[in-house]
Amino acid sequence: MDEYNCGDLFGARPHQEDAFAKSRWGLNSNKYLKEEMEETQMVAWNNLDTLKSYKDLSENANAVNLAEVMSGANGAERVKTYSVPMGAGLVYNYAAKAVDETILSKLEALAKEAQLVEKYEQLYNGEVINTGEKRLVLHQLTRGQLGDAVTADGVDKRAFYVAQQEKIADFANKVHAGEITNAAGEKFTTVVQIGIGGSDLGPRAMYLALENWAKKNGTFKMEAKFISNVDPDDAAAVLNSVDVAHAIFILVSKSGTTLETLTNESFVKDALAKAGLDASNHMIAVTSETSPLAKSSDYLAAFFMDDYIGGRFSSTSAVGGAVLSLAFGPEVFDRFLNGAAEEDALAKNKDIRSNAALLDALIGVYERNVLGYPATAVLPYSQALSRFPAHLQQLDMESNGKSVNRFGEPVDYVTGPVIFGEPGTNGQHSFYQLLHQGTDIIPLQFIGFKNSQIGTDVDIQGSTSQQKLCANVAAQIIAFACGKKDENNNKNFEGGRPSSIIIGEQLTPEALGTLLAHFENKVMFQGFVWNVNSFDQEGVQLGKVLAKRVLAHETDGALKEFSDLLNI
């Protein structure tokens, strides 16, 4: 084996309770895995470039002149009709996407041939969809029962997730009521989450999204902080900003062995000890039932997740539930779950014009695989969603950043795009220059709300701040689509830059849940189209192995030289 090849260390292992437990593992395991899936399931898992509908789409899709279709009465009619209702009163509008009825009909044929909704049905009914790790994919079950009861490891998983949510709610209510306190009998005022990746990005984005709303609506209970980076400056900055005597810390690690998280836990415990505090009175754990943290006396309580929910899909599990329930109250977390559940139910619709997540996914595949666009910019015109693009980076790029299909075979087409973004209007004064006049066309995903979370505003020069914000997003959509002709090439805008927008009345817990589920389901559907496994992330593992080797001083060659340069 090549020295840095992690295949043997992180290769797939059959899960003893999964349907693939009796798979014929060996040299031809990928072949046998594919045969088993074809024998036992009603859907066919085929590469995108083998589908007739994709060939038809690639060869016969007419180019849509965005500047033309978005001008005048035609543009006004498109805005009215190219719109799909979502959960929580949100609307997905794709009028400024480079599609027409011909392309939409071909995308509909692709969805049908690829059996996208049928594959979604298999997922929420408990089929083994995560082929890399031989696991079920159950994050939707944290917010509702979409189909059949799902049993794994001898447990009804919906009942398991509900029980954990109820346990968290009871704990949070006792903290808020002063029944669970610090050693001095004083209330906790701050909650600090220690985690990395999906244990940080999603929960942090969700907390920031609802912080102002909760303060305005009287549901704000505790300030939340987050420690993620193993860089000691991160933990130090957070600890310096809180009163540790009145802080409760949530350690989030499914395995209980995550290096960065355990390192930061030790950093926090050291700070508590220096303050004369017993860490066991200030810490809770979110972990799996089999991890070393599960029954440790080092924690006030432990709440459980399992292997069927990936980190980037875990915001609606105990990973997000503990911190959000402590920060805002369990009722707000329930409302967030309800918004996600509503959007999950809408994703079951086979009519692409009534299924926003499916339509968004298909248009994205068209832009990536037919039009050749390399990236997507996520542009929320809401400061509350300042970290939402960062969460979507992980969700999308960790899920669909794959070059082999579900059976480990190389694919001959591009898969997931690069995702980046920043809130408007800040982004307008940053990277929009490239978006408007750069050599690459980058599709845009706007998110906007008619009303602010605070509900109050001031009139400045004839319009409020919120009206100015909304005016900017409306203007950007048209500017990107239609451009502006000018004899001075430096001032010429070609236009033809496609975008969609999700619009809501206000960013509430329900709206946030709907937004989250929309993008989770979009990523899922695109993974199905590309025939990749969207639910493992082997790409993050190699660096971890080499880092451990560096720390153990088991290095040579270039790895040793870089280690020496960094004084390790």
Q: Give the residue numbers annotated as catalytic, written as ranges.
A: 398, 429, 544
User: DSSP secondary-structure letter at 496?
Assistant: -
C-alpha to C-alpha distances, 158 to 126, 141, 255, 301, 468, nearest whole angstrom: 11, 6, 21, 21, 44
- The torsion angles phi and psi of 142, rounded to 5 degrees, stand at -70, -15
End-to-end CA distance of the chain: 27
The two beta strands, 418-421 and 375-381, are parallel
The residue with tokens 């619709």 is: 349
Phi, psi of 314 (to 5 degrees): -100, 5
Burial 28-65 (b: 16+ CB within 10 A, else e): ebbebbbebbeeeeebebebbeebebbeebeeebeebe
The DSSP bridge partners found for residue 516 are none
Q: Cα–Cα distances in Å, from 548 out to 230, 251, 310, 469, 551?
A: 14, 21, 23, 47, 5
* Helical (H) or strand (E) element with 250: strand 247-252
Residue type present at position 444: L
Handedness of CA 307, 313, 318, 323 (dihedral sign): positive
The alpha carbon of residue 406 and the mean position of all alpha carbons in its chain are separated, in whole angstroms, by 20
Residues 350 and 525: beta-carbon distance below 8 Å: no
- Residue among 378, 336, 320 at smallest CA distance from 200: 320
Cα distance between residue 173 and residue 219, in whole Å? 12
CA distances from 366 to 18, 361, 373 (A): 34, 9, 9
